[in-house]
Amino acid sequence: MANKIDLHTHSVCSDGTLTPKELAREAARAGLCAAALTDHDTTEGIPEFSAECERIGIEPVPGIEIGTKYKRELHIVGLYAGGDEFDSVVSRLKNGRGERNRKMIKMLRDAGFDITENDITTHNDIESAGRVHIANALLEKGYVKTRDEAFEKYIAKGRPYYAERFSLTPEESVRFIKRCGGTAVWAHPAQAADTEAEMTEIALRLKAAGLDAMECLYSRYTDAETEMCMRTAKNAGLLMSGGSDFHGANKPDVKLGVVNGGYVPYEFLLKIKEKCNGAVS
């Protein structure tokens, strides 16, 4: 019985490599019964994604992923959020992303790298591009041997050519999604917290701001990380979410619908919808 879902994916509207329509078709091939599109700082792909999902009989979940102002990468996924305030904040986030991308390209050029805005906007405009595109350009031009090396050496948080962009704090992001009628999920929590104590502390703080769920099932987790997230969610009284963070060829090891330990069951989405007052797509 089709019970598999995926609540974290990216399309060409941010830094994935499938169009929203192709992503919906890939979800069907992967045997999913529901899927969320959660591009970084944009919902541009949602109408195309949802229409194709509906056409082929998959439940579409509209989503977005926001990178927040924090000492490490702390991402919040918002599902089902919408409305005027939502659109206006998302457009500020997009503008900030464009400015950040320009700044990082300038820093790299000033340091002697032969990289231009055109190199990161072949499929995208500057406001939808991301660090993955900068990593791809560094790879294509032979400055690094892998995308991960580009991040580790040059563009990860704390590395020489990383630049901050306009962003909300984790709490502000959660409150914003809740005000806009959405479900707030702490994405891949093990990226922001290494110890269980730190994860619990953040989970409780974000719960006080309105957080609904933690992404306990994730493609790149070890068993220990999965278990830590599950225990933390349980202790903090948060629901569980799960997703692959599929990016197509930009993260070739990640398969749509596949997470550490297997797949994400539809019950996760049912509980999310129940708690969030029957929010519908």
Under the rule (CB under 5 A), what is the footprint of Fe ion? 65, 75, 187, 245
| Residue 15 near Zn ion by CB under 5 A | yes
| Residue 132 near ligand AMP by CB under 6 A | yes
- Cα distances from 2 to residues 31, 37, 244, 262, 265, in angstroms, run 6, 19, 17, 14, 9
| Residue 203 near ligand AMP by CB under 6 A | no
What the block records as the tokens of 216 is: 């306990």
Q: Which is nearer to ligand AMP, 73 or 125 (CB)?
A: 73
Q: Which is nearer to Fe ion, 115 or 187 (CB)?
A: 187
Stretch that binds ligand AMP, among 115-123, 130-138, 261-269, 272-280 (CB under 6 A): 130-138
| Residue 148 near ligand AMP by CB under 6 A | yes
User: Which residues face 61 on adjacent strands?
Assistant: 36
Q: Which is nearer to Zn ion, 10 or 94 (CB)?
A: 10
Tell me the Ramachandran region of residue 210: left when phi exceeds 0, alpha when psi lies from -120 to 50, beta otherwise: left
Q: Give the one residue of 49, 80, 113, 151 binding ligand AMP; rule: CB under 6 A.
A: 151
Which strands, in side-by-side order, build the sheet including 75-79? 239-243, 213-218, 183-186, 75-79, 59-67, 32-37, 4-6, 264-265
| Residue 15 near ligand AMP by CB under 6 A | yes
Q: Which is nearer to Fe ion, 212 or 245 (CB)?
A: 245
Residues contacting ligand AMP: total by CB under 6 A: 10
